[in-house]
Amino acid sequence: MLRLDFPNKIIRNKKKILFVTGTRADFGKLKGLIEAVKREKDFDYGIFATGMHLLKRYGSTIHEIRKSGFANIYPFLNQDDVVGVQMDDVLSNTIQGLGLYVREFNPDLIVVHGDRVETLAGATVGVLNNILVAHVEGGEISGTIDEILRHAITKLSHLHFVANNKARKRLIQLGEIPKSVFVTGSPDIDLMLSKQLPTLVQMKKRYRITFPEYAIFTYHPVTTELSSIKKNIETVVDALIESNLNYVVIYPNNDRGSHLIVEEILRLKRLPRFRLITSMRFEYYLTLLKNSKAIIGNSSAGVREAPVYGVPTVNIGTRQNKRFDYKSIINVPENRAKILEVLHKLPKKISPSKHFGKGNSAELFIQILKRKSFWNRSCQKTFRDI
């Protein structure tokens, strides 16, 4: 049975905006936008929290959403916390749960982020229920299934908030109407460049990190290379052990094959140079990243957030193929010798990148939402020939 978590008294002339989040990563991106909407008298907001947020194995990050001071949160369990969960099952479960919810709440806009299965579900539910869908950070390219999902979400969405002009051009190339594509920057840059982050001392105390210097390691499954995951993660972990550096290890996301990665990194648990953490609150993770020696693995944080701080990235494998290239990013295969070579020659004093925004994404987002023309559009999309 559905539970309606929105206030009983909703002012009908307010626009109702529903944010869909399925992971710690996309919530970090959406959080600043939700806070900006929360401050506005002309909008009501809601949060449909699903996916990893409800799974104990990945830190039950639904609690972090609640601790952020948000109300109107609807938690929906879209999968079992078991090995080998199928993405199509997650998609269908999320569509069913979110579909029932939006027909009760009837939002004016659904906001989704990135390239996750839950994002695809949010866009699908919106377009099938004649609800406007806004997609944040479309137009990016990468490896694995993520890129396919991201472009599919673009075609289902009516409005687009992209990180830069390059992404905007890709969406127009996909047939999107230029007036529906807004360059606002990456939303997490707002927080990254703010003065609201915890101090290094606070972060280390909260997560019991005792190293004076450390690197970050995060390695996610490449869902199109399932047969290679076990061998690849074994090779990478062997290189980390041999490198003699200190590491803060963040658990992978919950994509298929993640159990193989978790099984392998668990052998690091008893080694004194490794601190394993299931999940971190986003603000604390940014402090961790900002003060790290480097970030190693295949997380998008290595190609999106790390360059903002000038932190070196050792990007391993194909997961981030064709994404942003910067002098702080070193690309290597899952090869022990090559990983070790790079780890012993990490670049230093790298100037920060401003490729993904200047830290005013939420401000631009609200300005656009306040335009009458934003809401005065049909849910019927049309293709634009170039």
pLDDT of 325 reads 87
- Domain identity same for 127 and 259: no
CA distance 369 to 375: 8
Integer Cα distance of 156 and 170 in angstroms: 15
Are the beta carbons of 194 and 359 closer than 8 angstroms?
A: yes
- For tokens 């460049």, the residue is 193
pLDDT tens by residue, 245-273: 999 999 998 888 899 999 999 999 999 99
Overall average pLDDT of the 273-286 stretch:
94
Residue 219, pLDDT score: 97
Model pLDDT, residue 190: 94
Express each pLDDT in 57-108 by its tens digit.
Answer: 888 999 999 999 999 999 999 998 766 578 899 999 999 999 999 999 999 9
Judgement on whether residues 127 and 57 belong to the same structural domain of the protein: yes
- 159/21 same-domain check: yes
Q: Can you give the pLDDT at residue 161? A: 98
Full strand arrangement of the beta sheet holding 295-297: 274-277, 247-250, 215-218, 295-297, 313-316, 329-332
Question: What pLDDT does 10 receive?
Answer: 43
Residue 274 zone, left/alpha/beta (φ > 0; ψ -120 to 50; rest):
beta
CB neighbour burial string for 253-271, b if at least 16 within 10 angstroms, e if fewer? bbbbbbbbbbebbeebeee
The pLDDT of residue 322: 81
Q: Which residue has the tokens 């927080």?
A: 191
Total domains in the chain come to 2
Tell whether the model's pLDDT for residue 4 goes beyond 60.
no
Read off the pLDDT of each residue in 268-289 and give the average, rounded to a whole number.
Answer: 95
Beta-strand ranges (E) seen in the chain are 15-21, 43-49, 73-75, 109-113, 132-136, 159-162, 181-183, 215-218, 247-250, 274-277, 295-297, 313-316, 329-332
Q: Give 13's pLDDT tier (boundaries 50, 70, 90).
A: confident
Specify the higher pLDDT residue, 1 or 283: 283
Taking 3-state DSSP, the helix, strand and coil percentages for the chain, each rounded to the nearest 5, stand at: 40, 15, 45
Q: Does some domain include residue 3?
A: no
pLDDT at 293: 96
Question: Do both 75 and 136 map to the same domain?
Answer: yes
Per-residue confidence (pLDDT) for residue 308, from 0 to 100: 95
Average pLDDT of the chain is 92
Q: What is the pLDDT of residues 130-178, one digit of tens each?
A: 999 999 999 998 877 889 999 999 999 999 999 999 999 999 999 999 9
The Cα–Cα gap between 104 and 102 comes to 5
* Beta pairing class for 247-250 and 274-277: parallel
Are residue 188 and residue 204 in the same domain, yes or no? no
CATH number at residue 215: 3.40.50.2000
Q: Is 24 helix (H, G, I), strand (E, B) or coil?
A: helix
Domain range holding 102?
A: 15-192+358-375
Strand (E) positions, 102-256? 109-113, 132-136, 159-162, 181-183, 215-218, 247-250
Q: Is 350 within a domain?
A: no
Q: For residue 164, give the nearest of 308, 299, 366 by alpha carbon.
A: 308
Please check whether residues 216 and 339 belong to one and the same domain. Answer: yes
Q: Report pLDDT digits (tens) over 230-239.
A: 999 999 999 9
Percent above pLDDT 90 for the chain: 80
